[in-house]
């Protein structure tokens, strides 16, 4: 399967600051990447679909001005949590489909645990 990396794996920040999370596809080019959020003992919730060269598509209820997504290249997508608050503390995971537009299979990154104090 595809190898997906995320950086950092764990970050603690103060309330009001911004945090950038990187998602990289290591072995193939990805025009699409997904960003999920997972609260403890809850399932994955899709936040947005990151599209290379164009604007991200956000799910209903996700603030696009708060969660900035930039798909700068075919191997890198970044999620910036702006003006973070304690309720933004969560596990953020990116994923990418192997090919095509079916999006049925996804390869997930290792996740980034964000703690906002």
What secondary structure letter does DSSP report for 59?
P
Q: Which stretch binds other proteins (CB under 8 A): 11-19, 40-48, 70-78, 80-88?
A: 40-48
Residues 110, 92: Cα–Cα separation, whole Å: 9
Instruction: Tell me which residues in 80-109 interact with other proteins (CB under 8 A).
Output: 91, 93, 95, 101-109
Does residue 41 bind other proteins (CB under 8 A)? Answer: yes
Residues 84, 73: Cα–Cα separation, whole Å: 25
Q: Which is nearer to other proteins, 54 or 102 (CB)?
A: 102
For 68, list phi and psi in degrees, rounded to 5.
-85, 130
> Which residues lie near other proteins (CB under 8 A)?
1, 4, 6, 41-44, 46, 49, 91, 93, 95, 101-111, 113
């Amino acid at each position: 399967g595809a190898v997906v990396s995320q950086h950092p794996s764990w970050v603690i920040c103060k309330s009001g600051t911004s945090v950038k999370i990187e998602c990289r596809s290591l072995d193939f080019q990805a025009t699409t990447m997904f960003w999920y959020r997972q609260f403890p003992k809850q399932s994955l919730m899709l936040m947005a679909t990151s599209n290379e060269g164009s604007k991200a598509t956000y799910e209903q209820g996700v603030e696009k001005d708060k969660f900035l997504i930039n798909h700068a290249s075919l191997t890198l997508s970044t999620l910036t949590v702006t003006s973070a608050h304690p309720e933004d503390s969560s596990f953020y995971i990116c994923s990418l489909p192997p090919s095509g537009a079916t999006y049925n299979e996804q390869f997930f990154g290792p996740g980034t645990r964000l703690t906002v104090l």
